[in-house]
Amino acid sequence: MTLLIHVRVTDAATGRPTAVRIRIGGPNGEYYPPLGRPTEFPVGRNEDVGGHVYLHQKRYAYIDGGAEFPLPTGVPLGVEIAKGPAYV
């Protein structure tokens, strides 16, 4: 069974949505992309990857502050969210 979860990331200073790189993953390395995005995408040199990135052997998506994710129930998930170094 899956649930559609809405994720929204806001800037603490302004309260407005902010663009980030996000990864939601399962315990065995599964990647759960935002709704409508592919699980697999090209990762070769000079290949168009759209709003995705492959970094340190993991797949990530770029979102503009909000996205919906179809996620499995009953599975422990990890979430990684990153913005620029000024936000660390």
What confidence tens digit (pLDDT) does each residue in 16-56 have?
999 999 999 999 999 999 999 878 877 777 776 778 888 88
Domain count, the chain: 1
Q: Is the pLDDT of residue 88 over 70?
A: no
The DSSP letter of residue 31 is B
Torsion over CA: 18, 50, 39, 30 (sign): negative
State residue 86 phi and psi, 5-degree precision. Answer: -70, -15
Q: Is the pLDDT of residue 9 over 70?
A: yes
The answer to whether 56 and 25 have CB atoms below 8 angstroms apart is: no
Enumerate residues 6+ apart whose C-beta is below 8 A from 43.
Answer: 49, 54
pTM comes to 0.84
Give the strand pairing for 66-72 and 20-25.
unpaired
